[in-house]
Amino acid sequence: MQSVLDNRPSLKAEIDKVAEVALYLWQKGWAERNGGNITINITEFVDDGMRSMLAITEPRPIGTTLPHLKGTWFYCKGTNRRMRDLARYPMDNGSIIRILPDCAHYEIVADKPVAPTSELPSHLGVHNYLIAKGSPYKASVHTHPIELVAMTHSKHFMEKDVATNLLWSMIPETKAFCPRGLGMVPYMLPSSVELGEATIRTIDEGYDVVMWEKHGVFAVDTDVMAAFDQIDVLNKSALIYIAAKGMGFEPDGMTAAQMQEMSVAFHLPK
C-alpha cells in the first residue's frame, strides 16, 4: 500500500521524529496504555500533490472555530492508540488531517481513517494560539512523566514557580534547556475545554511546558524532539531531587545568584 510519506523525504523525516519520541515516551514509562498525545503542524511540508488528494473521511467537527488554522495540516496520534505501536507504525496509529476553510471542521487525508486523539480540540486550540502569536512552534506533546506528576500531589509545588526554581536549581542544564520554566495548572477534567483554555493562558504567561496537576505535562516547541527534550530535562531534575531526598537530605540546589549568572551568561529569557 502506498503512503503519503512515499517520495516526500522532508515530511517522512518529521513523522519519523514523532515515532522516535513515541518510543522514548514508552521506554521511560510515561505512556501507559494509550496515554499521551502528539500533534504536529506539517503545513510547510505539504505539496501540490497532497493538496489535490481527496479526503478519506467525511468532514468532522472540531468542536470550536479556530480562525488561524485555515489551510493548515496536522499529523495527530490516533485516539485509543498506544505510543509503543505508533513508534513502530506511525501511519497506522495516527493520521494526517487538514483543516477546512470554515476553520470549524477537519477531514482525514492519509494514510488511513484513524480518528485523531480525543484531545484534538485542545491541541488545535494551542496551535491556533501559536499561529496567532507568530510563534515558530510546530509541535505539542502531552505525556505522563512519573516524577513530575508525583510532585503535583504536593500543594506546595503547585504554587507559582516553586517547582520551576527547585528544578532549575538541581542541575545547570535544566535552566539552560528549559529556560521558561514549568507553568502549573490546577486539576481539571482531562480533555475538557476548560483544561485546554487554562493551558493556553499558561503558555501565554511565558511557559513552554505546562504541568497539569495529578495528570501530566503539555509541552510546545519548534518540533517534537525539542518539546520532548524540555520535558526530559525537567524530569531529570525531579529525579535528582527525589534521589537526594531518598538519601535522607534536602538538596542544597544552585543558589539564586548562580542561576541568575546563568541567565546573563547564556542570554536566557528568565
Write out the catalytic residue numbers.
119
Q: What does residue 244 show for φ and ψ, rounded to 5 degrees? A: -65, -45
Rounded Cα distance between 152 and 52, Å, is 47
Rounded Cα distance between 163 and 144, Å, is 16
Query: How many Cα atoms within 13 Å fall on the side-chain side of residue 101?
Result: 0
203: which residues sit within 8 A by CB, 6+ positions away?
A: 126, 129, 183, 210, 220
CA distances from 25 to 22, 34, 83, 174 (A): 5, 11, 7, 19
Query: How many Cα atoms within 13 Å fall on the side-chain side of residue 47?
Result: 9
Q: How does DSSP classify residue 67?
A: G
